[in-house]
Structure formats: C-alpha cells, structure tokens
C-alpha cells in the first residue's frame, strides 16, 4: 500500500497544473482557496489530455491548453482574484 501512496504523490507532483500556476504567478491565489485547488487537482488528474498538456508546456506554448484544459475557468478565476486583490506594497 505504501508504494501506491508514493506513486500517487509523484503523479500529483508532476501535474501540469503546478507549472501553469507557477508560470502565471497564481500560486498564492490558489493557496488561498484550498478546496477549489483540490478540485482543480482532481480535474487535472482525470484529464485525458495530459500528454498534450505536457507537450504544450514543454514547448512553452501555454496558450494551447485553452483548447482542452478542464481547469480553464478555475485559472481565469484565479487571475481575476489576483487582479482585484489589494497590492501588498500599498498596505
């Protein structure tokens, strides 16, 4: 059973979602809503386009994921949260 858990951890750690969040500067916004992030991880795990996603990310063609990413609305939501959040340097 421990082998299964470590494999799952490794699989989750390699999801394209983490790279997209990093590239778009959305990690902080995602961390503020852990339940929504958990759902996004579930959608990413279940996605049938993971190979296509990996290729697009490896080629630096992030915009291509818009055609198939099940987390597109989630990423837009995070971007809007970041856009409307108070700026830290102004506080």
Is residue 26 pLDDT above 70, yes or no? yes
Q: In which region does residue 33 sit, left (phi positive, over 0), alpha (psi from -120 to 50) or beta (all else)?
A: beta
Is residue 84 pLDDT above 70, yes or no? yes
DSSP 42-59: HHHHH-TTHHHHHHHHHT
Would you say 22 and 41 are in contact if contact means Cβ atoms under 8 Å apart?
no
**7 belongs to a structural domain:** no
Would you say 70 and 47 are in contact if contact means Cβ atoms under 8 Å apart?
yes
Percent of the chain with pLDDT over 90: 70
**31 belongs to a structural domain:** yes
Contacts of 66 (CB under 8 A, 6+ apart): 72
Q: Give the model's pLDDT for residue 91.
A: 54
Is residue 88 pLDDT above 70, yes or no? no
Question: Cβ–Cβ contacts within 10 Å for residue 55, how many?
Answer: 13
Stated pTM of the model: 0.81
Domain count, the chain: 1
Residue 35: which domain range?
16-83
């Amino acid at each position: 059973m421990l082998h299964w858990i470590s494999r799952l951890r490794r699989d989750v750690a390699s999801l394209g979602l983490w790279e997209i969040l990093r590239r778009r500067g959305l990690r902080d916004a995602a961390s503020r809503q852990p339940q929504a992030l958990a759902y996004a991880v579930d959608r990413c795990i279940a996605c049938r386009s993971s190979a296509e996603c990996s290729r697009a990310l490896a080629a630096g063609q992030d915009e291509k994921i818009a055609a198939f990413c099940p987390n597109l609305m989630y990423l837009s939501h995070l971007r809007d949260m970041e856009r409307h959040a108070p700026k830290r340097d102004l506080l």
